[in-house]
Each structure stands twice: as C-alpha cells, then as structure tokens.
Chain A
C-alpha cells in the first residue's frame, strides 16, 4: 500500500497527514502542479540555451580580462541558479537544505580566496621556474 500520493517536493514538507481516499492515481490536483512545473522546465531550458549563446557571444567582445571574467561568471551564475532553483527544485526546498548550502558556499569561498589572499603575493615570485607554456619543465 503506497504511503504517499504523487507530489511535488515542497508539498512533502507540510503534508504528513494523508487525506483518506487520496490515492496515488497521479490524476487531479497533483497532475496540474506537475504540468505547471513542466512548463517552467521548458522555459528554463530555452533560457539556458540562449544564455549559452550569450556566454559565447561575450567572448567575442574583446573585453579586458577583468570585465570579461566578471561578465562570464555573472552569466554562468545566472545559468547555474536556473538549474539549481528549478531543475533541482531548490526554490521550494526546506530550510535545512538552504542551511547546508549556505555553509557550503561559505567554505567554498574560503577555498577559493584562502590560498589567493594568503599566498597570492608569493605566486610568480620564483622566476627561475619556467612559465606555464615552457617545455623545459618536461622531465623526459
């Protein structure tokens, strides 16, 4: 006997109580909810494809490094947010998941900025080591 009927994620949260006779036929109200979700998925899909073309287009603009990086990462963040919010259902997710992700983002920034801010002034200071395109670094 199935315990829960067809549902979308955020409904899982508040609906412990199961209405008697609310069987899992996948019909009625829940279907309409999923239909709305499906429309959203299509819109997000098209937006992601468009933003991918925008990303490539930006690379042809011949911007200097700073603005190029900022713009590319901005577009990537928008795309990533669309995937996270709608495909991964994050927009209707529980607070606990938000808490886990907030902690993750915090540590992610430590991970990114930590080495850069502490060791960054040492980077590139050992000039006797060949640069990144040098073939002399090969050991064979």
Chain B
C-alpha cells in the first residue's frame, strides 16, 4: 500500500531525505528569520536608547519564574525526543506517556507565562508603557503563540492522530520526529530569549 503523498517515509534519491524532513527544516529556516528580525529590532532599540535609560530586565521581570520556565521547556524537549525514541522502539505505551508529558510541560510553561503577564498588567505595565516592555511582550508573546501552535500539533499526535500508529507506524514515527523538530526550535528560541530579556 502506498501513501498518497510520495516520500513521506521513503527517501528521495535526489535529496537523500524524505520530503517531510526537508520541508520542516525549510520552515524552521523561515522561523529563524522571523525571530531574527525581532532580535535585530531588540539590538537596535537597546543600542539606540539614551545611556542609562534602558532598564535592567530584573526591574520588571521575574528571573526565578523564567528560570523555572526554561527548565520546563528543556524538560519538554527531552520528553519529546523520548516520545520519538519510543516510536523507534515500537513502544506505543511509552510514546503516549512521553508525548502526554510534553503537552503537560507546554501547559505549565503557558501557565507560568500567564502568571508573569498578569503580574505585569497588575503593576500597570503594558506593551505601550515603554520600549523595553514593548519588545518584551512582542517577543515573548510571539514565542508563546508558537508554544500554543506546537502544543496543538503535539496534542493531535498524542490523541486522535495516534490512530496512524496502527496503519503506518513508520510514517507516524516520522510525523512525531517532525513535530519534535518544531518543538525543539521553540525551546531553542526561548534559550536565547531568556538571557537576552531577563538577564542582560
């Protein structure tokens, strides 16, 4: 039985990859440009601020909460790659466990973000308050949207999408790997966002 879309499992002779893998890396390349543009804006805004006027992150932001969030995302990346490894090992039970944990960690990240944001608003700190907060909310907000998107995909593969395990396990494994690549990218962006916004 062949899949309707070719090269979702088999390797293409010209690229040496299946289409899905090349596709996701190309997409991630475009995401690098998206976040790159925002990092570039941050640099320009910070460098251009009159001396002494750019606040330290700690004036507005909670380092302990963000450190916890960093640990949460790193853990979610580990559980994501373990979910894929479980597929390779043909252990569907473990896959379900690890993918569930990944979605769970994603939820924890969003809850902590919610706590952070509401605490800002309670202090009367909004994106329009000053430039630092504007770039902070923009970058972490866009990142959070990516977390939500990634979680939607992961939740799909955790529950309804896992049906494919019975009919096409290799294709399903590839799908899990692809979702994992996006999820690791989201973690990677946060690894740079955290020191840049909170610590410098």
Q: Which residues of A contact B (CB under 8 A)?
A: 1-4, 6-9, 12-13, 16, 24-26, 30-31, 34, 37-38, 41-42, 44-45, 48-49, 52-53, 55-56, 58-59, 65, 68-69, 72-73, 75-76, 79-80, 83-84, 87-88, 94-97, 100-101, 103-105, 107-108, 111-112, 114-116, 119-120, 123-124, 127, 131-135, 137-138
Question: Which chain A residues border B55 with CB–CB below 8 Å?
Answer: 132-133
Chain A contacts of B88 at CB under 8 A?
6-8, 26, 30, 34
Pick the residue among B26, B32, B90 that contacts A6 (CB under 8 A): B90
The stretch of B115-123, B154-162, B190-198 in contact with A is B190-198
Q: Which 7 A-B pairs have the closest CB atoms?
A: A123-B48, A26-B90, A132-B131, A131-B53, A59-B199, A72-B195, A104-B29
Chain B hits for A12, CB < 8 A? 11, 17-18
> Residues of B with Cβ closer than 8 Å to A?
1, 9-11, 13, 15-18, 21-22, 25-26, 29, 32-33, 36-37, 39-40, 43-45, 47-50, 53-55, 63, 67, 70-71, 74-75, 77-78, 80-82, 85, 88-91, 128-132, 168-170, 173, 177, 180-181, 184-185, 187-188, 191-192, 194-196, 199-200
Offer 13 A-B interface pairs, CB within 8 angstroms, sorted by A: A3-B10, A16-B11, A30-B88, A42-B78, A52-B71, A55-B195, A56-B63, A94-B17, A101-B29, A107-B33, A115-B44, A116-B43, A123-B48
Which chain B positions have C-beta within 8 A of A25? 90
